[in-house]
Amino acid sequence: MDFKTEIAKRRTFGIISHPDAGKTTLTEKLLLFGGAIQEAGAVKNNKIKKTATSDFMEIERQRGISVATSVLAFIYKDKKINILDTPGHKDFAEDTFRTLTAVDSVIVVIDVAKGVEEQTKKLVEVCRMRNIPVIVFINKLDREGKDAFDLLDEVEQKLELKVTPLSFPIGMGYDFKGIYNRYEKNINLFRGDSKKNIEETVAFDNLENKELENLIGVKAAETLREDLELVNGVYPPFNKEDYLNGKQQPVFFGSALNNFGVRELLDCFIDIAPPPLAKKAEERIVMANEKEMTGFVFKIHANMDPKHRDRLAFVKVVSGTFERNKPYLHVRLDKKLKFSSPNAFFAEKKEIVDISYPGDIVGLHDTGNFKIGDTLTEGEKLNYKGIPSFSPEHFRYINNADPMKAKQLYKGIDQLMDEGVAQLFTLEMNGRKVIGTVGALQFEVIQYRLEHEYGAKCTYDNFPVHKACWVDPEDKKNIEFKEFLRVKQKFLAKDKNGQLVFLADSQFSLQMTQQKYPSVKLRFTSEFD
């Protein structure tokens, strides 16, 4: 099959939502339709584990939340689909923001009862800034929830999206009868059984047909006709061009747990979602169909298999083909590297692949060469932008609780920081190590993983800091900067890359510093032009 056909076959997308909106369940059901798994929640290895396929870290199984982005791939109707299932919990938002740099489109999952939540707002904002095509899936229709029109209004107002429903519910909660699919002009009847093939699809292009009453009852038929008349009057017809440019967002309704409405979502998705898109590097825009391979690391994960101390760097292939055993230039290190066993993913199952195409995610075994944001090419000096570290909001001193395991502790911290789980700052004054995180739950994850994956124990002490800012002076030689270094000495630290960081102890102190030293720019992300 030729290169261009392979690119056209691929769909790489992320699933984002607030915790508990059913994102991981939806991922499972998409895999079910793709024939990639036989039973939802089952990962077969000696015994069936009733946990989601995409949640493979032990702490995720215990807490029932996703804390690391999973990569899953399957074939459906001759399309190669790459799903990036992201953490919903706000404490892990940074991982999700980075993942959004590697997707070509997004599905946002919204809980029918809770509607639009804070975390969803932030994530959709990032999609809007980048004009990423978005499909909205309103989930859990078999439960009592908000009225469909109220939900559509909420999505428009709170997320500032221009929606158009491509399916519409018939009833809700106890009265849920099914879904009218506006995209395919048919009705899906809900039978309330959670086995694989539960739906009965009836072609229905003329809603005035009296057969509708026999299918769903007189009252439901009347309501559906009225609702759809309103939908046709209020919402614009679906326009694929607008969707691809991020100007219109199709909405689907369903119940992922009951496998309902998922097939419609998937069928429409593979029909309208974009194949791999061009990506902006600092130097130029790179098209997916260019012959030369380029790709970037958007995630690093240590110990995907705790029995083997392995680190995997997840690389999104942007252009060309990534081939096994072919040397590629690691731009930051300016050296050629070869990879004898690049992996493709199915949750924690990995298989070695000989060739990968634009849109694919490749896992490379890493001995410490990679950092998040690194670029691989066939020789061209390119740097992909847009994978910053965010300013942490929680800070603690980290202490070694077992002096015999100092080496393991430092190795563990080093690797977890490379993953982007948190950030490490070393104080200039006394060399003490401080960990900064976006969310408080990450401290627990770090402690757990250090103990269970590296055999090292740590304790924390409070470190009262309001915000970490990267220091970007206009001129390192001027007197103002030198005075800043002298006066703020006890609040200065270096991050893992050796960049200077100012740890402000309060909002007031931050403002005063900005006023007093105007030539010393304080940045809230580690990436600045």
193: in domain: no
Q: Are residues 18 and 153 in the same domain?
A: yes
Answer whether residue 83 shows pLDDT above 50.
yes
Q: Are residues 60 and 141 in the same domain?
A: yes
Q: Are residues 256 and 110 in the same domain?
A: yes
| Whole-number pLDDT of residue 459 | 92
Q: Label the pairing between strands 355-356 and 322-323.
A: antiparallel
529: in domain: no
CATH at residue 434: 3.30.70.3280
In the listed set 377, 411, 441, which residue is the last one of a domain according to the structure? 377
Measure the CA–CA gap between 330 and 369, rounded to whole angstroms: 9
| Whole-number pLDDT of residue 263 | 84
Answer whether residue 47 shows pLDDT above 50.
no
Q: Which residues constitute the domain of residue 345?
A: 279-377
Measure the CA–CA gap between 298 and 335, rounded to whole angstroms: 19
pLDDT band at 55 (very low <50, low <70, confident <90, very high): very low
pLDDT band at 200 (very low <50, low <70, confident <90, very high): low
pLDDT tens per residue, range 263-305? 888 889 999 999 998 888 888 999 999 999 999 988 877 655 5
pLDDT band at 102 (very low <50, low <70, confident <90, very high): confident
When the pLDDT of each residue in the chain is averaged and rounded to a whole number, the result is 80
pLDDT tens per residue, range 441-457? 778 888 888 888 888 99
pLDDT band at 226 (very low <50, low <70, confident <90, very high): confident
Lowest mean pLDDT of 49-63, 206-220, 286-300, 339-353, name the range: 49-63
What is the mean pLDDT of the segment spanning 61-89? 66
Q: Are residues 150 and 283 in the same domain?
A: no
215: in domain: no
What is the mean pLDDT of the segment spanning 34-60? 45
Angstrom CA distances, 216 to 194, 203, 350, 455, stand at 20, 14, 46, 60
Answer whether residue 479 shows pLDDT above 80.
yes
Q: Which amino acid is at 162?
A: K
| Whole-number pLDDT of residue 237 | 92
**Which has more confidence, 374 or 95?**
374
Measure the CA–CA gap between 32 and 105, rounded to whole angstroms: 21
222: in domain: no
| Whole-number pLDDT of residue 193 | 52
pLDDT band at 10 (very low <50, low <70, confident <90, very high): very high
In the listed set 327, 351, 377, which residue is the last one of a domain according to the structure? 377
In the chain, what are the helix, strand and coil shares in percent, each to the nearest 5?
Answer: 30, 30, 40
* Phi, psi for residue 136 in degrees, rounded to 5: -105, 130
pLDDT band at 32 (very low <50, low <70, confident <90, very high): confident
Q: Are residues 462 and 331 in the same domain?
A: no
Residue 91 half-sphere exposure toward CB, CA atoms < 13 A: 16
Q: Are residues 357 and 502 in the same domain?
A: no
180: in domain: no
Q: Are residues 135 and 267 in the same domain?
A: yes
Please tell me which of 61-65, 239-243, 363-367 the model is most confident about, judged by mean pLDDT: 239-243
Answer whether residue 98 shows pLDDT above 80.
no
Q: How many domains does the chain have?
A: 3
| Residue 465: both structure tokens together | 């800091």
175: in domain: no
* Phi, psi for residue 254 in degrees, rounded to 5: 180, -170
Lowest mean pLDDT of 164-168, 212-216, 410-414, name the range: 212-216
329: in domain: yes
Q: Are residues 471 and 329 in the same domain?
A: no
Q: Label the pairing between strands 47-50 and 70-76.
A: unpaired
| Whole-number pLDDT of residue 241 | 93
Q: Are residues 89 and 15 in the same domain?
A: yes
pLDDT band at 527 (very low <50, low <70, confident <90, very high): low
pLDDT tens per residue, range 296-347? 988 877 655 555 556 788 899 999 999 999 999 999 899 999 998 888 876 4
205: in domain: no
CB–CB of 18/119 below 8 Å?
A: yes
Burial, 219: exposed, middle or buried (Cβ in 10 Å; 0-12, 13-18, 19+)? exposed
CATH at residue 257: 3.40.50.300
Measure the CA–CA gap between 414 and 356, rounded to whole angstroms: 30
pLDDT band at 125 (very low <50, low <70, confident <90, very high): confident
In the listed set 244, 272, 300, which residue is the last one of a domain according to the structure? 272
Separation of first and last alpha carbons in the chain: 41
